[in-house]
């Protein structure tokens, strides 16, 4: 299936989900680093906006904890990445819960500027009840975020391919077991083993080939 067809099929699935709710549909795009989550989110947002939808885009990367907390278990600790990298309480209180069934529709899409490690205090925005929220991030199906998403899309790609992309994008070491990568490699292996995100997601996409993704489950063309 061509990429444009996959994007269209995913947009159909999101639109169907939105039509059954009285609050914004909260869609997560889950996957390990380098799986292509942000690229997919951007493409899906374009397709949905072309259909007239109000789309809110956000990324878990804009909800990091302060650097001191992120590395309190050590800069190479995979447990530290799992436990301390992201401010999941703020993700819920500022973004996901306000757009849920008991929310007031007032939201913010970020809490910290990662590059400068600066806390942000953005103004609150107000969503329409029929809006669509797209959030990309790693480990979105962890227990701390249980019940906070209405639909989950999991993008799957091999470690070798993901680190190849990260090497091209960020100059990272392409070897998954490299010392600079082990923090992330082990965290994602642990998440996959214990949370089974590929099995639990509503939609599973093989994203090994970003130009020719394949929907394996959940959103037929």
Per-residue confidence at 219, pLDDT binned at 50, 70, 90?
confident
Contact 6, 215 (CB under 8 A): yes
How does 27-36 read in b/e, with b if 16+ C-beta sit within 10 Å? Answer: bbbbbbbbbb
DSSP strand pairing (151-156 vs 203-206): parallel
CA distance 79 to 206: 27
DSSP strand pairing (151-156 vs 132-137): unpaired
First to last CA, the chain: 9
Report, as an integer, the average pLDDT of 59-65: 98
pLDDT of residue 127: 98
CA distance 77 to 64: 16
When the pLDDT of each residue in the chain is averaged and rounded to a whole number, the result is: 96
Counting Cα atoms < 13 Å in the Cβ hemisphere of 168 gives: 7
Tens of pLDDT along 92-112?
Answer: 999 999 999 999 999 999 999
pLDDT of residue 181: 96
If phi > 0 it is left, if psi is from -120 to 50 it is alpha, else beta; for residue 126 that is beta
Per-residue confidence at 208, pLDDT binned at 50, 70, 90?
very high
CA distance 55 to 141: 22
CA distance 8 to 28: 17
DSSP strand pairing (203-206 vs 214-217): antiparallel
Q: Over 70: is that where the pLDDT of 1 sits? A: no
Query: Comparing C-alpha atoms, which of 155, 169, 186 is closest to residue 76?
Result: 186
Contact 136, 122 (CB under 8 A): no
Instruction: Mention the CATH class of domain 3-213.
Output: alpha beta
Q: Over 80: is that where the pLDDT of 179 sits? A: yes
Contact 135, 26 (CB under 8 A): yes
CA distance 164 to 160: 6
In this prediction the pTM is: 0.96
User: In sequence order, what are the residues at sequence separation of 6 or more whose Cβ sits closer than 8 angstroms to the Cβ of residue 199?
Assistant: none
């Amino acid at each position: 299936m061509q990429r444009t067809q996959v994007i269209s099929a995913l947009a159909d699935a999101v639109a169907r989900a939105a039509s059954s709710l009285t609050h914004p549909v909260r869609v997560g795009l889950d996957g390990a680093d380098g799986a292509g989550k942000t690229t997919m989110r951007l493409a899906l947002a374009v397709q949905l906006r072309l259909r007239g939808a109000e789309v809110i885009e956000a990324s878990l990367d804009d909800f990091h904890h302060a650097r001191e907390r992120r590395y309190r278990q050590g800069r190479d600790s995979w447990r530290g990445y799992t436990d301390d990298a992201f401010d999941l309480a703020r993700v819920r209180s500022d973004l996901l819960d306000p757009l849920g069934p008991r929310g007031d529709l007032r939201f913010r899409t970020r809490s910290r500027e990662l590059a400068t490690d600066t806390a942000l205090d953005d103004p609150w925005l107000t969503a329409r009840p029929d809006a669509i929220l797209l959030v990309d991030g790693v480990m979105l199906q962890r227990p701390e975020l249980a019940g906070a998403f209405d639909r989950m899309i999991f993008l799957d790609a091999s470690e070798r391919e993901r680190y190849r992309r990260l090497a091209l994008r960020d100059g990272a070491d392409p070897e998954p077991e490299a010392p600079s990568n082990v923090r992330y490699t082990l965290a994602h292996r642990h998440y996959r083993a214990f949370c089974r995100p590929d099995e639990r997601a509503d939609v599973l996409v093989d994203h090994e080939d970003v130009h020719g993704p394949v929907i394996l489950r959940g959103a037929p063309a």
